[in-house]
Amino acid sequence: MNPLPDKSHPKVYKSDVKPVWCPGCGDFGVLNAITKALASQRLPPERVALISGIGCSSRVPAYTKVYGFHGIHGRALALGAGLKAARPDLNVLVAGGDGDGFSIGGNHFLHACRRNMDMTYIVMDNEVYGMTKGQASPTTAPDWTQSELTPSGTHARPFQPAAIALAAGATFIARAFSGKPNTLAQMIVLAMQHPGFSFIQVLSPCPTFRPEQKDWKNIIRPFAVDALPTGDPALAALHCQRDDGMSTGVIYVEARPVWRRSNMQEVAIEDIEREFRL
């Protein structure tokens, strides 16, 4: 590995592909934060892989100059897990939206938390399906009636990403705001340096289908408690439940054995073939 010069610039990590995102989309801030986080760690672009599924935010790999894979809807974590298992030497980042990660990919989210592979998952949560033109997502409030698909609301309790990650066994859980890309960049660095599965829910407004989220910049604030981050799951659960979902910061950090492949004494195929002899 050839570390980059000390003054590595975030631009080194940006591609020349123009994002499909609408003006004012929170995801621009997340893209900036990712490239800043990589620059501050001086990671050579070829040592990083950014994996995604489908949705507005899942377009992010092509906008970077690291190795990327834009896979299918909901399966980004599985794609990333396979890559990390096969290539433990790479820094694997997985990114996507709330529909991709918590609805169609919800099962993979639970099991990625449990498995505790050394990778970082960034979910850009705008509480809406943007790419399919504004349907309710798992994090949408039950009384949101702006979608023609659910004209009287979903009547379903919103998915609580941090609390569910905690219950499923994630060892690094944080919440951030796309409007604060520097803070987010620092958080991504912490997450990447955490040994094990790290999860960041980024509140990332959708100005097109959820224009009221423009007000998030006035609502979102850091967790007002000194207790966080904690390694006590009960305490973390308490603060997750008390919060309205708009407080940011690292919530939970736990040191737990990281998933690793068993390193056995290597044998040749001929040795394996011997078991079939009479």
Partner 1 sequence: MYHRPMNQAKERNSLSVALVGSGGAGVVTVGNLLLEAAAVDGSYGLMRRSAGPQIRGGESAALLRFADAPVECGGDYYHLVIAFDWRHAERFIDEIPLTAASWVLHDPAGGDVPEPIAGSGARLMPIEMQTQAREIEYGRANMIALGLVSSITGLKLTNISRIVSRSLATKGEDAVAGAGACIARGADIGRSLDIELPIPIAQGGVDDRWTITGNQACGLGALKGGVRFAAGYPITPASEMLEWLAPRLAKTGGCLIQAEDELAAVNMIVGASYGGVPAMTVTSGPGLALMTEGIGLAVASETPIVVIDVMRGGPSTGIPTKSEQTDLNIALYGMHGEAPHVVVAPVSVADSIFTVQWAVHLAESLQTAVIVLSDQLMAQSRMVANRPPDVGFITRRVTAQAGAEKYRRYALSVDGVSAMAIPGTTGLSYTADGLEHDERGTPSTGSQDHLQQLEKRAAKLSGFDYGEHWADIEGHGSIAVLTWGSCTGAVKEAIRRVAEQGVAVRLIALRLLAPLCTQRLNQALEGANRVLVVEQTFSRQFYHYLRSQVDLPVCTQCLARPGPLPLSPGEITAMLMADEA
Q: 24-59 in b/e burial notation, b at 16+ Cβ within 10 A?
A: ebbbbbbbbbbbbbbbebebebebbbbbbbbbbbbb
- Which of 77, 203 has the CB closer to partner 1? 77
Strand partners, 100: none
CB of 92 to partner 1, least distance (A): 9
CB of 254 to partner 1, least distance (A): 21
CB-based contact 135:128 (threshold 8 Å): yes
Residues that bind partner 1 (CB under 8 A): 2, 17, 44-47, 49, 51, 59, 61-62, 65-72, 74-75, 77-87, 89-90, 107-108, 110-111, 261-262, 264-269, 272-273, 276-278
CB-based contact 102:161 (threshold 8 Å): yes
CB of 102 to partner 1, least distance (A): 15
- Which of 85, 235 has the CB closer to partner 1? 85
CB of 265 to partner 1, least distance (A): 7
- Which of 61, 196 has the CB closer to partner 1? 61
| The pairing of beta strand 247-253 with beta strand 172-177 | antiparallel
- Which of 7, 276 has the CB closer to partner 1? 276
Peptide linkage before 229 cis (omega within 30 of 0): yes
CB of 172 to partner 1, least distance (A): 20
Assign 219 to helix, strand or coil: helix
- Which of 36, 75 has the CB closer to partner 1? 75
CB-based contact 14:63 (threshold 8 Å): yes
